[in-house]
Amino acid sequence: MTSSQHLAAGNLRSITFMLMAVGFFAFMDAVLKTLSATYPVLQIAALRGITALPLVFLYISWRGGWHTVLKVRWPLHLLRGVLGITMLALFTLGVRELPLSATYTLFFISPLLITALSVPVLKERVPKAHWWAIAIGFIGVLIALRPSGDDLQAGFVTIGGLATLGAALCYAISAVVGRLATRTDSSESMVFWMMVFMALGAGALSWAEWVPIRRSDALLLVALAVTGFCGQLAITEAFRHGQASAVAPFEYSALAWGLGLDWLIWHTLPSAHTWVGAAIIVGSGLYLVRREKRITDVHANADHP
């Protein structure tokens, strides 16, 4: 097999894993939306960590990675823990107030935010064309947030919309912090401490308003643990074997999952301005991915003897 064939095979495998990951996460988000009707958002964040920990223990034991778990840069992990709790609580608030498809549309701004944050934090150089794509993506967010009624000023800012944008910002910062941490810390430690901080931190914050778990919700909690854990494994595999520029665009398949689940479970579809905003945001993100691939290919050809 030639190098190009090997790369193509790796990309195909990674794309398959990405589609699986997005599907698992979409079902997890549907569970979050269902649970949010009964439990406070911080309690749901705690339950996400608590239910995932047994699976994380088994996974790390299977990989034999316990020797790396304590060799970490604690400030970065503490920051990721705070960001993870805040992100999941805000995202759960978002899916409680909005359809999944509308929530995903707003959350798609996070890749653009990651690009913008990579300049001051990671000292990466971002071309001018990328800044134009980021600006256009934010215009898409403004369009997606626009209310369907005539009174723009009264409905422009919604709790669900602002919560989702806050979650996207926390996710973007956490992703950049994660890049810094992966330079020295193992992937096992990243997953383990995120779940520990989420279970303990969100559990402590939600303790005063803790709602007793209903026995009828046991299957939902199992689904929360399994879908989240399988999604994390699948997305790790997706970026392990293929080119990020080839795999990343398939994250946008979440919109299709959101539309399907909205229609099947809650019998709702997004309004016209959400579709327009989604098209602009996704287009901006795809443009960034294509530009990055082109730059990478140019550098690779220049370095080739």
Helix (H), strand (E), coil (C) string for the chain = CCHHHHHHHHHHHHHHHHHHHHHHHHHHHHHHHHHCCCCCHHHHHHHHHHHHHHHHHHHHHHHCCHHHCCCCCHHHHHHHHHHHHHHHHHHHHHHHHCCHHHHHHHHCCHHHHHHHHCCCCCCCCCCHHHHHHHHHHHHHHHHHHCCCCCCHHHHCCCHHHHHHHHHHHHHHHHHHHHHHHCCCCCHHHHHHHHHHHHHHHHHHHHHHHCCCCCHHHHHHHHHHHHHHHHHHHHHHHHHHHCCHHHHHHHHHHHHHHHHHHHHHHHCCCCCHHHHHHHHHHHHHHHHHHHHHHHHHHHHHHHHCC
Taking Cα atoms as reference points, which of 84, 292, 62 lies closest to residue 199? 84
Supply the Cα-derived Rg of the chain in whole angstroms: 20
Q: How wide is the angle at C-alpha 179 spanned by C-alphas 9 and 28, nearest 5°? A: 70
Among candidate residues 286, 250, 290, 289, the one with its CA nearest the CA of residue 21? 250
Per-residue model confidence as pLDDT tens digits over 5-54:
555 566 678 888 888 999 999 999 999 999 999 999 999 999 999 999 99
Q: What is the pTM assigned to this prediction? A: 0.84
Residue 298: its pLDDT value, please? 46
Q: Is the pLDDT of residue 304 over 50?
A: no
pLDDT in tens, 162-208: 999 999 999 989 888 888 888 888 888 988 999 999 999 999 999 99
**Annotated domain spans of the chain:** 42-210+243-303
Query: Phi first, then psi: what are they for 90, rounded to 5°?
Result: -70, -40
Is residue 108 within 8 Å of 279, Cβ to Cβ?
no
- For all residues of the chain together, what is the average pLDDT? 83
Identify the band that residue 241 occupies on the pLDDT scale cut at 50, 70 and 90.
Answer: low
**Amino acid letter, 7:** L
**Cα 278 from Cα 255, distance rounded (Å):** 9
pLDDT for residue 301 is more than 50 = no
Q: Are the CB atoms for 230 and 236 separated by under 8 Å? A: no
Average pLDDT over residues 103-108: 89
What pLDDT score was predicted for residue 250?
80
> What is the C-alpha separation between 98 and 107, in angstroms, rounded?
12
Q: Give the number of other Cβ atoms within 10 Å of residue 71's Cβ.
A: 10
Does the pLDDT value for residue 89 go beyond 90? yes
Summarised one tens digit per residue, pLDDT across range 136-162 is 888 888 787 765 444 434 344 688 989
The confidence score (pLDDT) of residue 138 equals 82
pLDDT tens digits, one per residue of 253-264: 888 899 899 999
- Residue that the structure tokens 């995120």 belong to: 194
Q: How much is the average pLDDT of 260-274?
A: 86
pLDDT confidence of residue 196: 95
Give the pLDDT score at 214.
95
